[in-house]
Amino acid sequence: MSSYPVYRVENAMTMQDPDMPSPRYHNTIFIETWEDGYKSGRTCHVIGDLVTGMSYDTRIDQDPELDKAFVAKHFLGTINVSDYPDRLNEILRELPGPGKQKSFNPKTMRTEQHKSPGVFYEPGETRPAMVKCTEWTVNQAIPALFEAGVLHKSDEP
């Protein structure tokens, strides 16, 4: 095999963020390598939350369709065996993970979106959209892999 199929996978979240449109899914990149059994591979994603910030994480994983939280798998293209896993991880580790975007506001006694820690938005003030795993995966990680020439468009495997 000279290349591996690459997918964007959506999994249901155990708890939705009340400040973000629902439903939302945890989005990951899955490279199907069969290195740990039938349809297994590597999951690449960001972990964390909007209060502490998020960071890149990768692990060898089972077929995503076996996960109880599985919702959908979207074929993206292929990655050459020579780019896996070193070049793949090099590119994804360079991308900044979504930072801290919420903190506890003692005035309202709620965890709220902030401009910077300790500086909260006033009622009615326009707030930018928050960035989580979906935005990191779809808007940063996948385009970076295509731009670097690591992810290649191809027909379904």
Which residue ranges make up each domain of the chain?
A: 3-97+131-152
What is the per-residue DSSP string for 108-134? TTEEEEEEETTEEPPTT---PPP--HH
101: confidence class by pLDDT, cuts 50, 70, 90 = very high
CA distances from 42 to 18, 63, 98, 117 (A): 30, 9, 21, 34
Q: What is the mean pLDDT of the chain?
A: 95
| Residue-level pLDDT at 42 | 98
Q: Is the dihedral of CA 65, 36, 93, 152 positive or negative?
A: negative
81-98: b (≥16 Cβ within 10 Å) or e: eebbbebbeebbeeeebb
| Residue-level pLDDT at 133 | 96
Q: What percent of the chain clears pLDDT 90, i.e. is strictly above it?
A: 89
| Residue-level pLDDT at 94 | 98
Is the pLDDT reported for residue 67 higher than 90? yes
| Residue-level pLDDT at 24 | 94
CA distances from 46 to 63, 96, 126, 129 (A): 19, 10, 27, 18
Average pLDDT over residues 127-133: 95
